Structure 1
């Protein structure tokens, strides 16, 4: 039985290697799914168990300078990704409708493949968001949504650029996401800079509106596929997954918007109500599964994180 299971795993590995697009095969972390899956599993275990355990009897680290540098670096990286996505198709040759997967090796296509990989790789850098929360003992901010988003996004993107690195209309959500991250990490940088910059963060609640706009744009764009008379997109599965992803997060953030800004259920940070099974700080706007406090929320030194909730001990 064990020998048969190992044989099937090896066959699947050989199949993936054969199917991996030759244009992206030599990029880091693209050789097989074991590397990236191991990294993401280690991230989940560290975020949920090891990190909080190591910090349980330690004082929180003050990482303001590191976080300012990190956040501003992420602003620059995401701005570069946006520019490259635009120049490699979205502002040059794409129709913004039925843009097919490009199998060629033209300079522009290789440029699209490169920026798609950079977008994918940036998701590993973003895992530091959670590491900073752990080291600063902000366990209440490491919700199920936060951990799920940070691990699920790079995992799914590995399959996308392994099989279709120049994904045509399937890359629009990456362009929009990187654009939103430019704004988000700029906010994070100001927040981490300290109280003297708080007066510049009056637009905090509009981050949720920006996120909702992102999901609307992505859903509308990808929905065109279902209404076109003819669109021979080579891997329709990507279309369906992107549509479901956009609708799922639109509903999630819409619920937050209604609860926080229409019903006015915004309590002080000491009160930690549940939202969709997760404890959240309701005076901090959530974006992409993250909390936009990045440096100024209260921390709880007597808490453990168990994926979907914080359990007091």
Structure 2
């Protein structure tokens, strides 16, 4: 028993020392920024998110779905505007600083444009908290088919992982995935904002399929750049590059599976269904002709 107690105390002590060491290694430029200093707010919000994902559909089971057009339109367009701001900030500041897109070490300088990049990365991290509303709207509208593993995994992990980003690497090569993803989110939230107006508008929105393709291109590019950074010895935290590669592989698998089921397999079924319908129509048409000719005594014309 004494050995168990001692082992537990030793583990807690080592864990505390690691926490203190990791805090000392954090980027001091973002110290004191909202939600940054401690991991607990991020963990608490993520746990609340999981709780709502679990309990929300149960609470809505016997209730009518909410329409929420009044909230969906401004929310999605506001998110599009926020992501546009983040992307433009990162693009302008990184261009001024002449950042290298293949490998950019983390600078601890307090140059105004470096702080500008760190600030944009913070907004990107914070936007991942706001994006929890995507899930809450699905629940309130009883779109439970949208609450896939991919959706929940994507939203919950992005918020946590980008806390790591803003805490330890708020500049350097961190800027590129945030910038690319923000540009894609501008298109995505614009799409969702416009589609919330209903079928009359939604039928003109043709680019949903291509958003998934853009995301797959983004994930693949980020994975290749991460592998290249590891191979070339880029002066960027190695653990971050390995994390990036593994994370991107998971996204490629999950989003690739979604694309196959949503567009390739579904498209094949639609094509097959259309072909069968056309055959039924053709058979019906020929049967009608044969029936008419039999009635007119023209049976010989069919043989």
TM-score, L = length of structure 2 = 0.79
RMSD between superposed Cα atoms in Å: 2.3
- Report the Cα distance in structure 2 between the residues aligned to 1:236 and 1:21, rounded to whole angstroms: 16
Any unmatched runs of 5+ in structure 2? Answer: 271-303
For these two proteins, the number of residue pairs brought into alignment is 264
Runs of 4+ in structure 1 displaced over 6 angstroms? Answer: none
The structure with the greater share of residues assigned to helix is: 2
Any unmatched runs of 5+ in structure 1? Answer: 269-313
1:1-313 map, 5 Å:
1=5, 4=9, 10-48=16-54, 50-90=55-95, 92-166=97-171, 168-228=172-232, 231-233=234-236, 235-264=237-266
Q: Which has the larger radius of gyration?
A: 2
Deviation at 1:162, TM superposition (A): 1.0
- Secondary structure, counterpart of 1:60 in structure 2: coil
Partners of 1:180 and 1:210 within 8 A in 2: yes
- Secondary structure, counterpart of 2:107 in structure 1: coil
Partners of 1:170 and 1:242 within 8 A in 2: no
Partners of 1:64 and 1:193 within 8 A in 2: yes
TM-score, L = length of structure 1 = 0.77
Which residue of the partner structure matches residue 274 of structure 1? none
Residue-by-residue CA offset, 1:85-107 (whole Å, 9 max, x unaligned):
11221564112122101111111
Deviation at 1:249, TM superposition (A): 1.6
CA 1:136–1:76 in 2, change beyond 3 Å: closer, same or farther? same
- Report the Cα distance in structure 2 between the residues aligned to 1:55 and 1:163, rounded to whole angstroms: 40
- Secondary structure, counterpart of 1:100 in structure 2: coil
Deviation at 1:17, TM superposition (A): 3.4
- Report the Cα distance in structure 2 between the residues aligned to 1:212 and 1:60, rounded to whole angstroms: 32
Partners of 1:13 and 1:32 within 8 A in 2: no
Partners of 2:150 and 2:255 within 8 A in 1: no
Deviation at 1:122, TM superposition (A): 0.3
Deviation at 1:10, TM superposition (A): 4.8
- Report the Cα distance in structure 1 between the residues aligned to 2:14 and 2:225, rounded to whole angstroms: 39
The structure with the greater share of residues assigned to strand is: 1
